[in-house]
Amino acid sequence: MRLLIALMNPSSARDVQSEMESRGHIADVVLSGAQIPLLLRERPCDVLLIHECLPGMDGLAVLAALQADCPVCPPRVLFVCEPELCAARPAMADCLAPICAGPQRLCALAEIISKKPLPKLAAAQREQTAQAVERFLDALSLKKRLKGRAYAAWLLRLMVPSPMLEEQPLCQLYQACAEAFHTTPASVERALRVAVESVFTQGSMRGIERFFGATVDPERGKPTNRAFLLQAAQQLRYSLTIACSANSSEMHHSPAAPTMV
């Protein structure tokens, strides 16, 4: 797990960093709230531990900025605040912690929310991700009549904004998908395998070469379900990142609207 720590007290931030690293995680400290949106675009993290009061930009303003211009892989947010603010949880916070919480408590909460399937910030780009997934599967000529396509789309919508899920056993993802579709994990695995086979026997060769290239096992003639999902998620993140960069560039370079007098 990668944690980005933005606390009001630098000493407390370093204590949390030391505790997280002792638990085998990667932890970085940032001192200004204004740096956070840029840092998350350059290097995604799994959990953002952020204080409500920060120099440069306070915690609520940071969350508002991330919601308005969300990174492709947004973090789960652990928001540290005064007890009275806990009653009105910020919409994009996945978990709240009181300012009196010590390093061990904060680290324990970070580890808990890191297991959450999707961060709340991911909702800001849910429709965009879903559209990208459908375009990707269309480019491979994966037939919509196959159940495995629906399962693949559901899994990719979950995996693209949350790379941590790639570390989970595939059986857990099958279980989650099965619950969503009211079926069994075995049915999900089988239908997905049939869908992957259909792509690499009847699908678009141009799409296969573009997105999978040399990743296909020459002896099997197709990737495993896991390899298919991992490569697809990686390609989708790349395409979404390019699209986000292009949109951001257009916003910054578009002419200003005329001033009304």
Give the type of residue at 70.
C
Confidence of residue 47 (pLDDT cuts 50, 70, 90): very high
**Calpha distance 203→195 (Å, rounded):** 10
**Calpha distance 14→7 (Å, rounded):** 9
In terms of pLDDT, which residue wins out, 7 or 243?
7
Neighbouring CB atoms inside 10 A of 47's CB total 29
The sign of the CA dihedral 18, 19, 25, 27 is negative
Q: How far is CA 86 from CA 1, 74, 215, in A?
A: 26, 22, 48
Give tens-digit pLDDT for 212-261: 875 555 455 688 999 999 999 999 999 998 876 665 555 444 444 333 32
* 3-state DSSP assignment of residue 3: strand
Q: Do 58 and 82 contact (CB within 8 A), yes or no?
A: no
Q: Average pLDDT of 144-154?
A: 97
In terms of pLDDT, which residue wins out, 209 or 180?
180
Confidence of residue 210 (pLDDT cuts 50, 70, 90): confident
**Calpha distance 100→105 (Å, rounded):** 10
Q: Average pLDDT of 4-32?
A: 96
> For the CA atoms of 141, 134, 157, 77, what is the dihedral angle to 10 degrees?
140
Q: Average pLDDT of 143-147?
A: 95
